[in-house]
């Protein structure tokens, strides 16, 4: 395994594995025995960075979520897991009532919600401190300063370490970070967005795809990362929900455009050259690039995890990387 450092404050920054593991469906679609096996193998391989959210997976049973955090709490207790494993969670997108969703009835990002939701997450996970806490989705009904101060208060109290943000317009991220800096408060240091080798369309508002997918990383976000090297991008859905290797799963509409075929061709050629799978090349491309990117993989079996773990050791040559980057 390889490792990266997230965060800049010596009091809170953490070294985490270069490949993060998503626990979104653990405890719901993925049964406990399988989830525990995946988690155990991930840790055995040197993995130390696990991702969840307080609303995972409300859509599976029409509830409000919490199944993933609860399963991770049971796994931690059964395995004696301590602070060596960094568990990141999110708040803001938990439905306020069963049968609703974050689209029409989200908990939001008020100071009261931030405090209460973080406390519930700590209880479900069985931890005294949340290593990394994200603002999951935007809440434009609450003053941004209130959200910034709400998260910072938890850091000051010692119940949260690092702060992150997901699925926000880039200008909102920068404004929030500027407010935090001006007030001498901790701000967002880890950004979580959908990001893969294929490029998303850029003619959609605020990164929203027609199918409702949130937060694809476009040129504006990647440019922002280049300008702010202290930030880290955690890239969710790097394998586009299996679309690279399962022809029966169509690409999300935001990736289905005239620029896609050339990049798919280059990707398959490099996979043949390296004797690797297409998925492994995508992950290796992210891991070895100039930007600080941590792929966040979601798997439902140990076999799928093994394929992803192997990508950490795959080194692309400068020529192979240039072919991938240059495909249009």
| pLDDT score, position 214 | 60
Q: Tell the CATH topology of 3-251+282-316.
A: TIM Barrel (3.20.20)
Q: Could you report the per-residue pLDDT of 106-130, keeping only the tens digit for each?
A: 999 999 999 999 999 999 999 999 9
Q: Which of residues 208 and 281 earns the better pLDDT score? A: 281
User: Measured between alpha carbons, how far is 269 from 324 in angstroms, rounded to an integer?
Assistant: 9
Residue 221 has pLDDT above 50, yes or no: yes
pLDDT class of 205 with cuts at 50, 70, 90: low
User: Measured between alpha carbons, how far is 40 from 254 in angstroms, rounded to an integer?
Assistant: 35
pLDDT (mean) for 8-19:
95
User: Measured between alpha carbons, how far is 273 from 271 in angstroms, rounded to an integer?
Assistant: 5
| pLDDT score, position 175 | 98
Q: Could you report the per-residue pLDDT of 32-83, keeping only the tens digit for each?
A: 999 999 999 999 999 999 999 999 999 999 999 999 999 999 999 999 999 9
pLDDT class of 212 with cuts at 50, 70, 90: very low
| pLDDT score, position 216 | 86
Q: Around Cβ 98, how many Cβ atoms within 10 Å?
A: 10
pLDDT (mean) for 207-213:
48
- How far out from the chain centre does Cα 133 lie? 11
* Best CA proximity match to 188, nearest among 296, 122, 109: 109
Name every residue whose Cβ is closer than 8 Å to that of residue 323 and which is 6 or more positions away in sequence.
Answer: 266, 269, 270
Q: Could you report the per-residue pLDDT of 156-167, keeping only the tens digit for each?
A: 999 999 999 999
73, 35 Cβ separation under 8 angstroms:
no
Q: Provide long-range contacts, Cβ within 8 A and 24+ apart, for 212-221.
A: 212/103, 213/252, 213/254, 214/137, 214/167, 215/166, 215/167, 215/168, 216/254, 217/193, 220/170, 221/170, 221/191, 221/193
| pLDDT score, position 126 | 97
Round the average pLDDT of the chain to a whole number and report it. Answer: 94
């Amino acid at each position: 395994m390889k490792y990266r450092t997230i965060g800049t404050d010596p009091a809170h920054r953490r070294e985490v594995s270069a490949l993060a593991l998503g626990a979104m469906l653990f405890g719901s679609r993925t049964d406990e025995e399988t989830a525990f096996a995946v988690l155990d193998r991930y840790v055995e391989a040197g993995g130390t960075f696990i991702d969840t959210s307080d609303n995972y997976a409300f859509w599976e049973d029409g509830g409000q979520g919490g199944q993933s955090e609860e399963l991770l709490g049971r796994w931690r207790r059964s395995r004696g897991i301590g602070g060596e494993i960094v568990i990141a969670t999110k708040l803001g997108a938990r439905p306020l009532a069963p049968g609703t969703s974050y689209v029409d009835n989200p908990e939001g990002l008020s100071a009261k919600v931030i405090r209460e939701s973080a406390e519930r997450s700590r209880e479900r996970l069985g931890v005294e401190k949340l290593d990394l806490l994200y603002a999951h989705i935007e809440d434009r009904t609450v003053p941004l300063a209130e959200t910034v101060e709400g998260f910072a208060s938890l850091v000051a109290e010692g119940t949260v370490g690092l702060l992150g943000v997901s699925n926000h317009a880039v200008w909102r991220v920068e404004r929030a970070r500027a407010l935090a800096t001006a007030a001498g408060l901790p701000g967002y240091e880890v950004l979580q967005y959908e990001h893969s080798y294929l490029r998303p369309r850029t003619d959609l508002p605020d990164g929203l795809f027609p199918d409702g997918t949130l937060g694809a990383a476009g040129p504006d976000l990647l440019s922002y990362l280049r300008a702010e090297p202290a930030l880290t991008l955690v890239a969710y859905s790097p394998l586009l929900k299996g679309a690279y290797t399962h022809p029966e799963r169509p690409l999300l509409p935001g990736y289905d455009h005239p620029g896609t075929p050339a990049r798919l061709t280059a990707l398959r050629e490099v996979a043949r050259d390296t004797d690797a799978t297409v998925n492994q090349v995508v992950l290796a491309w992210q891991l070895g690039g100039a930007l600080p990117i941590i792929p966040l993989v979601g798997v439902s079996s140990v076999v799928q995890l093994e394929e992803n773990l192997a990508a950490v050791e795959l080194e692309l040559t400068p020529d192979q990387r240039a072919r991938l980057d240059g495909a249009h």
